[in-house]
Amino acid sequence: MSEEECREACHSPADREEEIQSLKAELEAARREARENWDRFLRAVADNENYRRRVERDLVLSIRRGKYEFLRGCLELKDHLELALRAPGDEGSLRQGLELILRQFEALFEKEGLVPIAAAGVPFDPAVHEAVAVEEDNAVAEPVVREELRRGYRFGEEVLRPARVKVARPPEPCTHDELA
């Protein structure tokens, strides 16, 4: 008889029954733990979905609040424009009214984080300037913005709209082929 056969023969039916009951108890405990883990998983998935919906809703509300405040400021400026157009007076007073409204627009934009891009007299930067005209100038060593045609703006670190500019650049050196 082999050693393993001897071990099997040595186990009494009572020992086997005890081992079976122990294994059944372990199996039931593992099943209970698996059910608890599955329930926790389902709760975590539901919590995550609820969190996602809440963040989405809060984002929509936040954007709406921001638009509300901005449009409220714009309506005030629109009212001032309408008053300026209805007011009697000469061209000088109309111009003064329009300049006042322009300053109010600039204050509103500044409050919202809109910053003008420097243009005239600064080195040309294609990241923030859009060259719509270029002229050669012996007085410059590198391309320089000569004139701002339309103001550009940054919103935070991003370029909202590049400045349209006229650029002065140094003349191109003549090549031998051009002289012939």
Average pLDDT, rounded, for the chain: 86
Nearest to 44 by CA among 28, 36, 57: 36
**Confidence at residue 111, expressed as pLDDT on a 0 to 100 scale:** 86
Q: Which domains does the chain have, with CATH numbers?
A: 1-112 (no CATH), 115-180 (2.30.22.10)
* Distance of alpha carbon 146 from alpha carbon 136, whole angstroms: 11
- Residue 164, pLDDT > 80, answer yes
pLDDT at 9 over 70: no
CA 129 to chain centre: 22
For residue 112, the model assigns a pLDDT of 85
The DSSP symbol for 39 reads H
For the residues 1-23, what does the mean pLDDT come to? 75
pTM of the entire predicted model: 0.57
For residues 29-39, average pLDDT? 96
- Is the pLDDT score of 89 beyond 80? no
